[in-house]
Structure 1
Amino acid sequence: MTPNPGHTPAPSIRAVADSLASAFLDAARVPLDPGSGGEVLGHGAAAREHGWNRPVLIAAGASVLGARRRWLSPLVRAVLDAYPRAPFDRPRELAAWIEASAVLGDACAAATARGQHLVLVRHAVYEPVGAASPLPATPAELAGLLGLDIGELAWFADQRGWNRRAGSARLQHYRYEWRARPGRVPRLLEVPGQRLMRLQRQLVHEVLTALPIHPAAHGFVPGRSARTGAAVHAGSHVVIGMDLTTFFARVGRSEITAALRRAGWGEAVAPVLAALATHAVPEAVIRAMPPGGNPEERFALAQALRLPHLPQGAPTSPMLANLAMRRLDDRLLGWAAAVGARYTRYADDLTFSGDQRLAARSDAFIRGVSGIVADCGQRVNERKTRVRPRGTSQRVTGIVVNAHPAVDRRSYDALRAPLHNCARTGPAAQNRENLPYFREHLRGRIDWVVSLTPKREPALRRLWEAIEWEEPGSAPLR
C-alpha cells in the first residue's frame, strides 16, 4: 500500500477485483509440463490440478498488488471455496464475486482509514463477456436462436395477453397451483408448460447467464450461493434481516424490458424476450385464491398477478429478477455503506450487517431501507424484519454467522431425524412426499450441512451407512 496524495487516484474496489480475477484465471492456465513447449491449458482437470490452487493464486494476487498482503490468503481461500473449478468462461462473474467479498471490502476500508490505498501493478486484460457472441438484434434472430419460426415466437411471447383470456386450460401456457399458508397470504405457483419450459431453460443457459448481475445478489447466480452471501456477514456486531413480500409478482414486464435494454438488448427484441418470461394470471385462477392473509395483502397480490409479471415457477424468473433489482441493490448498497455496513440479497431476503454504528441507529436504518424498497416497486414484510445483535443467534438464509458460516443445531437435528428413521424403518417409510430421488435428496442435504459444519461429517456418515437401500448404488460418503 502507498500513501494517497491528492494527485494520485486510488483504484476503485471494482478495478482491484477485475485485476485479481484476471490474474487468477491467467495463473490457472499453466503448461502441461516444463517440456510442453509452452502449450497452455485453458480448461479441464489438469488445469484445475496444476493452476487453480492456493499457492498459485496467492502468487498471482501478489503480482497484481506488488506484494503479498496479509488479506490475500483468506481471499484466495474464499475464492477456492466458492469456485472449486476455475471459471475460465465466466471472468466477469468471478470479478463481481471478489468485488462483493468481505475480505476485499475490509482491506480497502482499512487502507482508506490509514490514508492509504491499494496499489495495482497489473491490470485486468480479459475481454468483456459476450464480446464474441453478439445478442440477437431482431425478433427473427431470437426466434432462430430458440429454434422457432416467427409465428411460434409470437405465440409463446403472447405480447397481447390473449393467453390470459383463453377459455380452455389446454391452450394456456401455464398451469396453476395455490399453496395455502396458515395465517399468511397464499402463494401461487405458475408452472410453464413443457415446451415453454424448455424455451425458458434454453434462455437461461444460452442468454441470461451472460447478463450483468449485481455483486450483492447471491441467489440463483453461478458461483454464488446462500453460503457465499452468509459469509459476508460473519462475525458482525449486528445482523439485520428483512424480507420482500410477493417478490416475483411485483417485478413487472416493463421493468424486465427496461433492465434488458440497460444490459444491451435492442428495443425491438427486449420486449419480446421480456414477454417470453412474464405472464398475467387468468381471472378465474385469481378468484380461486384460498383463505389467508389480511385484505390489504390479498388485494395487492391479486392486482400484481393480473398484470404481466415474473411467474414463480418459471426457470427464467430468478435471474431476470436479479437483473431488474440492480437499481434496488445499488441503492441499498449505498445506504448500507453510509454507516459502514454490508449488504447482500438472496432472492427476496435482504441482509445488512455492521458494527456499533449500525446497531445504534438500526430503527432509522430500517425505515430508510423500507422507503428505498417502496420507491423501487417492492414492499418489505415488516413482520419478518429481525435485528440480531452479537450474543444472539445471528442467521442469514438459515445459516448461523456469529463466528463463521455454520448450520445451527435445529437444522442439523432436522436432518439427523430422518436419517435415523430411515435406518430404523426403511427409506420408503420416510419418503412421505414421494420424492423420486429421495436418496439423492438426502445426500444433497448431508453435503450442505458438512460443507458448512465439517465436524458433523462423522456422525452423519455413520447414520448414512446404516441405511439399507432397496435399489443398488448407495455410495458411501466421501
Structure 2
Amino acid sequence: MEFPGEAAGARDASTSPGSPRGTQDQQEDTPRAGQRAARATPHGGTDESSGNPTPLTVVTAALADAFLTAERWAAKELTALGYVVLGVERAAVRHAVTAALEAYPRPPVDAPRQLAAVLALAPGLVRLHRIRSARKPITVLVRRVTAVRARPETASPLLVDTLPELARALDLTVGRLLWLADTRAWNRRSAPSSPLHHYRHEWITRPGRAPRLLEKPMDMLRRTQRTILDELLTMLPVHDAAHGFVAGRSVVTGAAAHTGQQVVVTADLTTFFASVSAPTVYGVFRQAGFAEPLAHVLTGICTHRVPVHVLSAMPAGGSPEERHALRQALAGAHLPQGAPTSPALANTSLRHLDARLSGWAGAVDAVYTRYADDLTFSGGDRLAARPDAFLRGVDRIVQEQGHRLNPAKTRVRRQGVRQSVTGVVVNERTSPGRREVDRLHAILHNAAVHGPASQNRAGHPEFRAHLLGRIGWVEQVNPGRARRLREEFARIVW
C-alpha cells in the first residue's frame, strides 16, 4: 500500500511536532521503512552496508536515520553524522544538512520516513546524485538505525513505540500483524478461492442507483479491529456536530437540534466510507501520537483494497460516472463498510469537514449536524432567503475535503410541509415518522425470516444494538407500536 501521510493539498493535514515548515506528513512504503520499527536499535547502533551504489531514496533514508541520532539538531552535529554514513562526501552532506535544517524547526523524532522524503527532494542533492551516478556514485557506508518513539497524545495502551510491542498489545505475533495489515496489497490479486483473504464481500443492488459493497472482515481481523476500536478510537475526539456512531448520541439527538426551525436543508455524502482514503486514516493515527511505522501498519489493518475479482462482479445500477467513481474508490485503500473501526475513523477523519460546515452554517445563524453521511442544516430567515447559494457553499467545502454530495438526495423543506431529519419528524417536536416505523417493522420481519445479515445494508458493525436503539426511540412516543416491534425483534436468530 503506497500512500502519503496526507494527500497533497488537503485542508486538514496532520503534522508531527517536528514537521517541516509548510509541509504535511509524507510516507514512503519501502521494505526498509516497513522493517524499521521491528529492527530498531538504541541510538548509536550501526548496520553495515555493502558499499555498493545505491538509489537516492536509500541514501536519504540512511542520512535521515543518522540525523535523528544527533545529540543536538545543529549543522555541526548533522554534518559529522553524514560523514559517518557516506564518508567524506562534503557536497552531498552539505545539501542534506541544509535541507533538513531549512525544513524542520526541530527534529522529527517520530518521522524518519518523512525526513527521508524531504531530503530526497532537495534540489542540490538530487542534482549531485544524478551527476555522480555516471562516474563515481554516492554510496552508503554505514547505516545507523534510529529508534522512533510514539508521542503521548492519548492514554491508549496501544500507543507503543515498536512493532513487537504493538503486536503483543493486539495479542498477535509480528508475522500475523503484518499479514493482517497487508500494506503491500498482495491479497488484492489473490485467487477468489484463496484462504488468505481477510474480507468477505457482498454486493447490495439498489434500483436506479450504484450498488453498495459490504466488506465484512474475517474473525481474526475483526477481533483485532474491535480491540483498536475499544482501546484507541473511542478515546479520540469527534466534532460536536457528529451524532452517528458516537456514545450518548443518536438519530434523535441529531434531529432534536433542528426542531421548530423555519427551514431544514438535508444533503447526503456519496460513497461515504469508501471516500475516506488511507492517507486520511494514516493522518488520524499520526495525530493520535503513533510514529510512522506503526501508523502505517494500523492504517493497513483498518483499510482495504477490494480484490479485482470482486470489482469485476459489480452488478448493474447507477450512471457510468457513479460506477466509475465507486470502482476507483474501492480499488484504492479505503475504510471498508462493515469493519467495526470504520465508523469511528470516519467521524474522526471528518472533524475538519464538520468544523468548516458548522462555521458555514453559523455564518447565517443556522445549525449543522451530521449522522454518518447525512448532513442537516436548519435556521431562520437568513438561511430561508437563499438556500441555493448556501448549498453551493456546502458543495464546495465538501469537495475540498475529498467527498461529493449526492444531488438527488438534497432537500429544502420549509415550515408547512413535513420536515424530516434521518427519519425523525422535527416540525414541532421530534417523533418517528409513520413511514420510518413501517420501514423498521419491515426490516425486523425480514431479518427474522431471512437472517439479520440480509437486512444490514448499511453495514452497521453492531446491527443488533442499532435495531434496539431504533425500537427504543419509537418507544419514547408510541409504547404500543414499540411492543409489537420488540415481539418481531425477539424472532430474529442472531
TM-score (structure 1 length as normaliser) = 0.64
Deviation readout 1:202-247 (Å, 9 max, x if unpaired)? 1111111111111111111111111111111111111111001111
Q: Which has the higher contact order (CA 8 A, sep 6+)?
A: 2
Q: How much has 1:415 moved relative to structure 2?
A: 5.6
- With over 3 angstroms needed to count, the CA separation of the structure-2 counterparts of 1:148 and 1:453, relative to structure 1, is closer
Q: Which residue of 2 aligns with 1:74?
A: none
Q: How much has 1:450 moved relative to structure 2?
A: 5.5
Any conservation in 1 of the 2:447–2:453 contact (CA below 8 Å)?
no
Q: How much has 1:134 moved relative to structure 2?
A: 7.2
What's the secondary structure of 2:183's corresponding residue? Answer: coil
Q: Which residue of 2 aligns with 1:288?
A: 313
Bigger Rg, which one:
2
Any conservation in 1 of the 2:471–2:486 contact (CA below 8 Å)?
no
TM-score (structure 2 length as normaliser) = 0.62
Q: Which residue of 2 aligns with 1:145?
A: 169
* Structure 2 residue corresponding to 1:346, chosen from 359, 364, 371: 371
Q: How much has 1:136 moved relative to structure 2?
A: 2.1
Within the alignment, does 1:157 sit opposite 2:181 as a pair? yes
Within the alignment, does 1:312 sit opposite 2:328 as a pair? no
Deviation readout 1:289-346 (Å, 9 max, x if unpaired)? 1100000000111111111111111111111111111111111111111111111111
Separation (CA, whole Å) in 2 of partners of 1:442 and 1:166: 33
- With over 3 angstroms needed to count, the CA separation of the structure-2 counterparts of 1:337 and 1:430, relative to structure 1, is closer
Any conservation in 2 of the 1:161–1:280 contact (CA below 8 Å)?
yes
- With over 3 angstroms needed to count, the CA separation of the structure-2 counterparts of 1:336 and 1:170, relative to structure 1, is same
What's the secondary structure of 2:289's corresponding residue? Answer: coil
Q: Which residue of 1 aligns with 2:322?
A: 297
Separation (CA, whole Å) in 2 of partners of 1:220 and 1:448: 13
Structure 1, unaligned runs of 5 or more: 1-127, 420-426, 472-478
- With over 3 angstroms needed to count, the CA separation of the structure-2 counterparts of 1:392 and 1:449, relative to structure 1, is farther
Any conservation in 1 of the 2:156–2:232 contact (CA below 8 Å)?
no
Q: How much has 1:388 moved relative to structure 2?
A: 0.9
Please tell me the residue identity of whatever aligns with 2:262.
H
Separation (CA, whole Å) in 2 of partners of 1:466 and 1:150: 47
Separation (CA, whole Å) in 2 of partners of 1:312 and 1:209: 18
Deviation readout 1:94-150 (Å, 9 max, x if unpaired)? xxxxxxxxxxxxxxxxxxxxxxxxxxxxxxxxxx99448572233222211101121
Any conservation in 1 of the 2:441–2:485 contact (CA below 8 Å)?
no
Count of aligned residue pairs for this structure pair: 334
Q: How much has 1:272 moved relative to structure 2?
A: 1.2
Alignment of structure 1 residues 165-176 onto 2, 5 Å: 165-167=189-191, 168-176=193-201
Please tell me the residue identity of whatever aligns with 1:431.
A
Separation (CA, whole Å) in 2 of partners of 1:199 and 1:311: 15
Q: Which residue of 1 aligns with 2:415?
A: 390
* Structure 1 residue corresponding to 2:211, chosen from 181, 186, 189: 186
What's the secondary structure of 1:388's corresponding residue? Answer: strand
Within the alignment, does 1:240 sit opposite 2:262 as a pair? no
Any conservation in 2 of the 1:394–1:401 contact (CA below 8 Å)?
yes
Q: How much has 1:262 moved relative to structure 2?
A: 2.2
Separation (CA, whole Å) in 1 of partners of 2:179 and 2:197: 11
* Structure 2 residue corresponding to 1:278, chosen from 300, 303, 316: 303
What's the secondary structure of 1:379's corresponding residue? Answer: coil
Q: Which residue of 2 aligns with 1:29?
A: none
Backbone CA RMSD of aligned residues: 3.2
Percent identity of the aligned residues?
51
Within the alignment, does 1:432 sit opposite 2:432 as a pair? no
What's the secondary structure of 1:319's corresponding residue? Answer: helix
Q: Which residue of 2 aligns with 1:457?
A: 479
Relative to its length, the structure with more helix (as a share) is 1
Please tell me the residue identity of whatever aligns with 2:239.
H
Structure 2, unaligned runs of 5 or more: 1-151, 456-462
Deviation readout 1:404-452 (Å, 9 max, x if unpaired)? 2111122334567899xxxxxxx8x9933244999xx999868745545
